[in-house]
Amino acid sequence: MAAYIQIGSGRLFVRPTAGNLATNPTPLQGFTVQDVSIDIAGEIKELRGQNQFPDDTATVDKKLSGKFGIGRKDLTMFNQIFSADVISTSGQSVYPNFQTAVPATPYTVTIAPPATGTFQFDLGVYYTGTGVEFIRVASSPVTGQYSVNEGTGVYTFAALDTLANVTISYSYTLTGHGATYQINNQTIGYGPQIEIWIVDTYQSLTVSSNQVYNVIRVYAAKVNKITIGNKRGDYSIPEVDWAAFASASGRVLDMYSVNG
């Protein structure tokens, strides 16, 4: 009998197989997997005459889709299964809320980004004690104003703001640290094709001292949506939506049961 019970999200694997693939296409396992769902739907057409109920019904179009959530912002996975775009070394980051005091003449603060980075863009200034925001002006600031040279990272304040405690936020570029996963404006149709393997781990079978699991295999799918959201009082759980189609062999889906 091929009926079994599953509790928990099990394990999930994605495997890029065709289409526009990322550099070095790589199978990946989803970590900290959350909810995993598959929807198998069919459109029913009805043949009706003079009676209340149809004389016949027929299934015409079928659709296979699903989604999964993972407790990691896995940028490598998102690139492999959705964007298949350029990965560049290094990149840009943000320094939020750098606190300092406005010095005496010439009332300037020169930013030195972390990791010998290079100042990029000003992201605002406010008084540390009150949270009141400064207004940015082109030059000659008065009290409550500032100007900034984004080529040098030099902030200039008013003479009357000398010794005021201020909080500065800015972006900067850095080299030798991290990577940037780009999403560029590709032509229509661009994107990778993937397989999806869903492993139900709860009711497994022991064969030769090894566990054999119930498995669902989706042969050909494309990711149509990735939702990334931060929550005030909870973890960020990115969600991936996908839609399947027939593979080159005509195969769409396999469901394997260890008790089949």
- Could you tell me if 96 and 175 lie in one domain? yes
The two tokens of residue 234 are: 């909870």
* Per-residue confidence (pLDDT) for residue 208, from 0 to 100: 87
* Residue 1, in any domain of the structure: no
Instruction: Show the CA angle centred on residue 72, arms to residues 69 and 74, nearest 5°.
Output: 100
How far apart are the C-alpha atoms of 63 and 38, rounded to whole Å?
Answer: 10
* Residue 206, in any domain of the structure: yes
Q: Is residue 214 packed enough to be buried (19+ CB in 10 Å), middle (13-18) or exposed (0-12)?
A: buried
Q: pLDDT tens for residues 146-168?
A: 999 999 999 999 999 999 999 99
* Per-residue confidence (pLDDT) for residue 1, from 0 to 100: 62
* Positive or negative torsion for Cα 128, 130, 132, 137: negative
- Could you tell me if 110 and 169 lie in one domain? yes
- Could you tell me if 97 and 169 lie in one domain? yes
* Per-residue confidence (pLDDT) for residue 67, from 0 to 100: 98
Q: pLDDT tens for residues 61-86?
A: 999 999 999 999 999 999 999 999 99
In this prediction, residue 59 has a pLDDT band, given cuts at 50, 70 and 90, of very high
- Could you tell me if 215 and 251 lie in one domain? yes
Number of domains in the chain: 2
* Residue 56, in any domain of the structure: yes
Domain boundary among the residues 131, 149, 179 is at 179
Q: Range of 166's domain?
A: 90-179
Is 116 in contact with 174 (CB distance < 8 Å)? yes
* Residue 6, in any domain of the structure: no
- Residue appearing with tokens 């304040």: 157
Grouping H, G, I as helix, E, B as strand and the rest as coil, residue 69 is strand
- Could you tell me if 97 and 68 lie in one domain? no
CA-to-CA separations, 124 to 56, 95, 147, in angstroms, rounded: 67, 11, 10
Q: pLDDT tens for residues 173-198?
A: 999 999 999 999 999 999 999 999 99
- Could you tell me if 94 and 175 lie in one domain? yes
Domain boundary among the residues 152, 179, 206 is at 179
- Could you tell me if 79 and 186 lie in one domain? yes
Grouping H, G, I as helix, E, B as strand and the rest as coil, residue 160 is helix
* Residue 208, in any domain of the structure: yes
pLDDT at 260 > cutoff 80: no
CA atoms within a 13 Å half-sphere pointing along the CA-CB vector of 7: 0
- Could you tell me if 171 and 187 lie in one domain? no
Q: What is the DSSP letter of 81?
A: I
- Could you tell me if 172 and 192 lie in one domain? no
Domain boundary among the residues 138, 158, 179 is at 179
**Which residues have a Cβ under 8 Å from the Cβ of 130 and sit 6 or more positions away?**
none
- Could you tell me if 203 and 225 lie in one domain? yes
182, containing H or E segment: none
- Could you tell me if 188 and 173 lie in one domain? no
* Per-residue confidence (pLDDT) for residue 102, from 0 to 100: 98
* Residue 47, in any domain of the structure: yes
Percentage of residues in the chain with pLDDT exceeding 70? 100
Spell out the alpha helix ranges (H) of the chain: 75-78
Is 60 in contact with 45 (CB distance < 8 Å)? yes
Residue 157 backbone dihedrals phi, psi, to 5 degrees: -120, 175
* Residue 222, in any domain of the structure: yes
* Residue 5, in any domain of the structure: no
What is the CATH number for 203? 2.30.110
Report strand pairing: 33-47 vs 28-29.
unpaired
* Of 106, 148, 101, residue with least CA distance to 127: 101
- Residue appearing with tokens 């299964």: 81
Is 221 in contact with 194 (CB distance < 8 Å)? yes
In this prediction, residue 96 has a pLDDT band, given cuts at 50, 70 and 90, of very high
- Could you tell me if 100 and 138 lie in one domain? yes
